[in-house]
Amino acid sequence: MNTQTTLSLLVSQKFIEIFGQTPAIYSSPGRINLIGEHTDYNGGFVFPGAVDKAIFCAIRLNGTSRVNAYSLDMNENCSFGLNEEDKPTHSWACYIFGVCREMIKRGYRVEGFDAVFCGNVPLGAGMSSSAAFECTFAFALNDLLGHNIDRLELALIGQATEHNYCGVMCGIMDQFASMFGKEGYLIRLDCRTMEYAYFPLDTEKYGYRLVLLNSCVKHELVGSPYNERRSSCERVAKHLGRNFLRGITLDELDAIKNEISSEDYQRARYVVGEEQRVLTVCEALSEGDLEKVGEMMYATHEGLSKEYEVSCEELDMLVDIAKECGVSGSRIMGGGFGGCTINLVKEELYDNFIATAIEKFANRYGHAPEIIPIVISDGAHRVE
């Protein structure tokens, strides 16, 4: 039995045990991002793909105006109403509550329901477990209530939940990937126009593998300097009379260098560089030049570590080990402040890289990094 089936069965059985009825099952995945980090809220490009790790929920409308939710992983339950003043105290329940509220605010009727959920997206690993969570419930409620909300609006409902109920001023990448993921394909998304295109991820064809190394340093974007990074970018854009940093040149930025703080300058400089790197990667991918893709990944890591300052010692070490082992590309992935590196590695170097990373990392930090091979999978769906 594969993991998906096991998790679906688990939530289903628990639901029947608690609520005595047969539920519908829904699932929405976490994501990776090849390149284009901290570009989404700057109106730039991102390059994510959904993965085979997801949140699963068993759910059924209960004919009341209350929600009864049970977290299988935490063994906790929480009941709450659907009005603004009913905000639950459990932080995990705020994600579900937020999705309901954001739907209601947009004029969609939401009714009470019972739900049991669990998941296998590693928490705090930069793989968007929270977006997977929001998207699972947004997708499920839309389907159960027959609203016909499209996937983009569902993604926006997830993002608004983060902003208004969880305190993270995130961009749209994670929820978009969780909704629009397609097996075997990465998505190049232009976060200014929301235009997107699917790119096949043919790493095997060229003799490469993608693998995540989880430092197990827990990244928590709530309360992290994530929102400060976003504010820096917004200040610089405003100073330049623009809505976004997207499209500004290094010359334009340099011209105002003395008028903005050196920190804001550094943050914006990273974003300008990253925009170029994403475009270079698109070109390199279409030419099958994965060495070039890898080179850009290292450059992104350098920028995220030194200019954007969202890395940490453990992640820098994992990237250094990758370099030593001849890995083609390696960088911190996601919001930062912990979590995973994403690595593009030649097939023949894979085993040695993994063994070396485990040994060196464990020697320094007392535990091995978690090795997460990647399977690019479909987005939100009902599980039959």
Asked if 339 touches ligand GLA (CB under 6 A), the answer is no
Least spacing, CB of residue 48 vs ligand GLA, in Å = 9
d(CA 96, CA 76): 14
Restricted to residues 14-43, the positions that interact with ligand GLA (CB under 6 A) are: 37-38, 40-41
Asked if 234 touches ligand GLA (CB under 6 A), the answer is no
d(CA 319, CA 331): 6
| φ and ψ at residue 327, rounded to 5 degrees | -65, 140
Please, which residue, 294 or 303, has the CB nearer to ligand GLA?
Answer: 303
- HEC profile of 314-369: HHHHHHHHHHHCCCCEEEECCCCCCCEEEEEEEHHHHHHHHHHHHHHHHHHHCCCC
Please, which residue, 220 or 252, has the CB nearer to ligand GLA?
Answer: 220
CA distances, 354 to each of 159, 210, 218, 357 (Å)? 35, 12, 21, 5
Please, which residue, 25 or 125, has the CB nearer to ligand GLA?
Answer: 125
Please, which residue, 23 or 44, has the CB nearer to ligand GLA?
Answer: 44
Asked if 170 touches ligand GLA (CB under 6 A), the answer is yes
Among candidate residues 52, 114, 174, 264, the one labeled active-site is 174
Query: From the CB of residue 240, how many other CB atoms can be counted at a distance below 10 Å?
Result: 19
Least spacing, CB of residue 335 vs ligand GLA, in Å = 3
Least spacing, CB of residue 38 vs ligand GLA, in Å = 5
- Which one of residues 69, 116, 141, 173 is an interface residue with ligand GLA (CB under 6 A)? 173
In terms of DSSP H, where are the helices of the chain? Answer: 3-19, 91-105, 129-145, 151-161, 173-180, 226-239, 250-255, 262-286, 290-302, 313-324, 347-365
- Beta-ladder partners of 51: 376
- State which amino acid sits at residue 129: S
Lookup: tokens for 308: 């954007």
Least spacing, CB of residue 98 vs ligand GLA, in Å = 14
Let me know: does 45 contact 172? Beta carbons within 8 Å: no
Query: From the CB of residue 85, how many other CB atoms can be counted at a distance below 10 Å?
Result: 5
Asked if 171 touches ligand GLA (CB under 6 A), the answer is yes
SS3 2: coil
d(CA 257, CA 89): 44
Restricted to residues 97-156, the positions that interact with ligand GLA (CB under 6 A) are: 128
Please, which residue, 181 or 334, has the CB nearer to ligand GLA?
Answer: 334
- Which one of residues 52, 102, 114, 174 is an interface residue with ligand GLA (CB under 6 A)? 174
Task: Kindly write out the interface string for residues 290-329 of this chain, putting x where it contacts ligand GLA by CB under 6 A and - elsewhere.
Answer: ----------------------------------------
Active site residue 174: yes
Please, which residue, 38 or 301, has the CB nearer to ligand GLA?
Answer: 38
Least spacing, CB of residue 149 vs ligand GLA, in Å = 20
Please list the active-site residues. 174
Residues lying near ligand GLA in the complex (CB under 6 A): 37-38, 40-41, 128, 170-171, 173-174, 334-335
